[in-house]
Structure 1
Amino acid sequence: MEIIGSGFHCNLSEIHLNLIDPNNHQEQEDAFKAGALCVAALLHHKFLEPRYQFSREIDPIVGVSFTGLFDFFVNAFGIDWLKWWEAGRPKNWGIGGKTTKYYLSDYFTEKEAEYLNRWRNIVHETVWDYCDRHGLRRPNRCTTVQPAGSKSLLTGASPGWHPPKAQRFIRRITFGKNDPIALACIDYGYSVVPSQSDKDEEGNLLNDPFDPRCSEWLVEIPIAVSWADLPGADSIDISQFSALAQMDFYLQVQNGYVTHNTSATIEVRESEIELLGNRIYEAIANDEGYISAALLARFDDRQSFPRFPFEPIDKPEYDRLSAEVLVRRKTNNFHAALNQYDNPNYVVYGPAACDSDKCLLPEKPEKR
């Protein structure tokens, strides 16, 4: 969990760092102040459920998160920062100048921490000032990094602090057949194919999304990260970033910005298991701020399968698919297309927006 506890609700907001200029400190301050005010204002809410209201009164919980951190730092530091990642984020890497032995790795580490510390301080100062002025109990910690995969897609951000899957990729998003959003996507030019679960009698994937046997659609969207065209970026294979490099960056975020917990998924190969295990042990033994991280196995020979949610592609393929989207496009107004298909009687079947027991409020207040 990113916010540890039970029997409470947490007010969350999220900053999309990929949209912010690394050199514009005022823009960064405005963004994090806005995120802080969003969560602080919600502390006025009164819960009907007594246990949630009691929790709010004794320990108000808020969390200002961000996404697109990796993109932000690429834009801030350039290709050398990516090369440092490619090398594993080692210490004493890259000479910073002709007349000094100041390492680029030291510079990157210090500047990363500087950004993270400044944002954390802005959030806490803003939340606490708001609470003091409105007579609300101060939350004792206000920053987190929440899971941000789907929301990151709205602005093309790399999720949370994580590196993207590739500089360019096909993102496939699952919808129910004839979902209004999917129909609007078709008019906007995106291709639609049956999902991985839709197969014929012989177990072969269906190809026609309008086949009566098809129940779900995959909308295919070609995506490029904001820095994809940075000179030299295509030479960096993001899929080869080591587990130890990911661990190092996760700890940087946890120690520099986060006061709750950081949503973290470290992708690890079999050959890295012992190295990463030892590093996690050291982080715990040395009290380096480690709380938790999910581990996801990487298999270089089986990284993809048909209609994979994220399928890396090269620039020519991305350019071709993007051009095809424009050829198919019937309207440049996605909202108008959506309104055309929006049906108040359409029922969406699928997982709840939040299936945590924290979100399943009782219909009636509990009797005491």
Structure 2
Amino acid sequence: MDPQNDREQADAFAAGALSVATLLNHKFLEPRYQYSREIDPIVGVSFTGLFDFFVHAFGVDWLRWWEQGRPATPEGIEFKRQEEAYLTRWRDIVHAQVWDYCDRHGLRRPNRCTTVQPSGTKSLLTGASPGWHPPKAQRFIRRITFGKNDPVALACIDYGYSVIPGQSDKDENGNLLNDPFDPRCSEWLVEIPIAVSWADLPGADEIDISQFSALAQMDFYMNVQSHYVTHNTSATVEVRESEIELLGTRIYEAIQNDEGYISAALLARFDDRQSFPRLPFEPIDKAEYDRLSAEVLVRRKTDDFKNALQRYDLGELAEAGPAGCDSDKCLLPEKNPS
């Protein structure tokens, strides 16, 4: 959405509000679920791509402020005030729309109508950053897990994307397979080069998003929780070992000061990615992105993805499509208990 177009934003959040408000008409077959709905109805309007939206709204200076840790400088205080203004306005639009719908249809008003849900593959494929989180990088390879010969994956091949064996496919010596058509291969990773919408902004390439501190992430997450979300925000704060004490102290303060903190997942951040090959996200530079994008065009057999999909999908594969979870939280190697 255009950060300067208030009408467009209002229409989008009003549409989201109406789409969830109609769910309040649903009658549960399970009596306790229906009882819960009657005494405490809740709905949730979410968004994705918030980080990208604010880059377009505030420019590269906002990114540099993040790089500094989102300090309470005069510029930083103004940035945060503007973030709060957007978030609060969107929240108020959602609640007004849901409550108006409920009043007109004789339904009990929910007292919580906004959330940020976990962002899945579909939103990420639009190039949007997930939920409120910063993207992994300005440009990256996105790897999506499919079953071998999945119709969507086969269509991706015709569209020019490369396919490699999944992380679980190994030879008898424990080495990863390289040929996706190897009989031992059971899963495919479709590799898609992606650039965020602001990747070419002057100065954006100078900022290493992977170095954003855990405290900066926590600060932004809490701004979203405090000024938009009325139940919970899906949040994964990526933290280095040296940041554990600082982040732990900040979470403790948020709880003690009743700032609205509910929960956040913590994910260890490893600067050495060599330990985990073929992760769902692999940051790349502009030269690599341009090279991979050019190779996609060379391999492309069709410009119509829908027709490519219809060649393979006969409408009989109920489980076709990406794996239920292919994020870096789900695919880290399992450790057997000793």
TM interval, short-chain normalised: over 0.9
Paired with 1:32 and 1:41, the residues of 2 have a C-alpha distance of: 15
Structure ranking higher in strand proportion: 1
Determine if contact 2:150/2:320 at 8 Å carries over to the other structure. Answer: no
Determine if contact 1:173/1:218 at 8 Å carries over to the other structure. Answer: yes
Q: Quote the residue 1:135 is aligned against.
A: 106
**Residues 258-310 of structure 1 deviation map (CA, whole Å, 9 limit, x = unaligned):** 00011111111111111111111111111111111111111223466221110
Query: Superposed, which structure 2 residues align to 1:183-262 within 5 Å?
Result: 183-262=154-233
Q: Quote the residue 1:358 is aligned against.
A: none
| AA matched with 1:224 | A
Change (3 A) 1:224 1:350: closer
Query: Structure 1 unaligned runs (5+)?
Result: 1-19, 93-102, 355-368
Change (3 A) 1:144 1:285: same
Paired with 2:182 and 2:322, the residues of 1 have a C-alpha distance of: 24
Q: Quote the residue 1:272 is aligned against.
A: 243
Change (3 A) 1:324 1:79: same
**Aligned to 2:257, which of 257, 264, 286?**
286
Q: Quote the residue 2:329 is aligned against.
A: none
| AA matched with 2:49 | G
Paired with 2:8 and 2:322, the residues of 1 have a C-alpha distance of: 36
Q: Quote the residue 2:332 is aligned against.
A: none
1:330 and 2:329 matched:
no
Q: Which 4+ residue blocks in structure 1 deviate beyond 6 angstroms?
A: 349-352
**Aligned to 1:115, which of 67, 83, 86?**
86
| AA matched with 1:160 | G
1:309 and 2:290 matched:
no
Q: Quote the residue 1:96 is aligned against.
A: none
Determine if contact 2:94/2:114 at 8 Å carries over to the other structure. Answer: yes
**Residues 33-59 of structure 1 deviation map (CA, whole Å, 9 limit, x = unaligned):** 000000001111222222222222222
Determine if contact 2:146/2:189 at 8 Å carries over to the other structure. Answer: yes
Report the Cα offset of residue 346 of structure 1. 3.1
**Residues 149-201 of structure 1 deviation map (CA, whole Å, 9 limit, x = unaligned):** 32322321100100000000000000000000000000111000011111112
Paired with 1:139 and 1:24, the residues of 2 have a C-alpha distance of: 28
Paired with 1:30 and 1:351, the residues of 2 have a C-alpha distance of: 31
| AA matched with 1:268 | V
Paired with 1:236 and 1:304, the residues of 2 have a C-alpha distance of: 24
Determine if contact 2:146/2:323 at 8 Å carries over to the other structure. Answer: no
**Aligned to 1:90, which of 66, 71, 74?**
71
Q: Quote the residue 1:97 is aligned against.
A: none
Q: Quote the residue 2:12 is aligned against.
A: 31
Report the Cα offset of residue 314 of structure 1. 0.2
Paired with 1:343 and 1:304, the residues of 2 have a C-alpha distance of: 39
Determine if contact 1:88/1:245 at 8 Å carries over to the other structure. Answer: yes
Q: Quote the residue 2:59 is aligned against.
A: 78
| AA matched with 1:69 | L
Report the Cα offset of residue 347 of structure 1. 5.4
Paired with 1:203 and 1:339, the residues of 2 have a C-alpha distance of: 36
Report the Cα offset of residue 349 of structure 1. 8.1
What's the TM-score, normalizing by structure 2? Answer: 0.93
| AA matched with 1:79 | V
Q: Secondary structure at the match of 2:261?
A: coil
Q: Secondary structure at the match of 1:63?
A: coil
Paired with 2:274 and 2:132, the residues of 1 have a C-alpha distance of: 21
1:164 and 2:135 matched:
yes
Q: Secondary structure at the match of 2:199?
A: coil
Paired with 2:275 and 2:135, the residues of 1 have a C-alpha distance of: 15
Paired with 1:352 and 1:158, the residues of 2 have a C-alpha distance of: 19
Change (3 A) 1:205 1:278: same
Q: Which moved more, 1:105-114 or 1:41-50?
A: 41-50
Change (3 A) 1:304 1:316: farther
Q: Secondary structure at the match of 2:45?
A: strand
Change (3 A) 1:157 1:134: same
Paired with 1:133 and 1:303, the residues of 2 have a C-alpha distance of: 58
Q: Quote the residue 2:331 is aligned against.
A: none
Change (3 A) 1:312 1:90: same
What's the TM-score, normalizing by structure 1? Answer: 0.85
**Residues 210-249 of structure 1 deviation map (CA, whole Å, 9 limit, x = unaligned):** 1111111000000000000010000000000001101110
Q: Secondary structure at the match of 1:127?
A: helix
Determine if contact 1:189/1:325 at 8 Å carries over to the other structure. Answer: yes
Determine if contact 1:149/1:160 at 8 Å carries over to the other structure. Answer: no
Change (3 A) 1:306 1:170: same
**Aligned to 2:26, which of 45, 56, 59?**
45
Determine if contact 2:145/2:323 at 8 Å carries over to the other structure. Answer: no
Determine if contact 1:176/1:348 at 8 Å carries over to the other structure. Answer: no
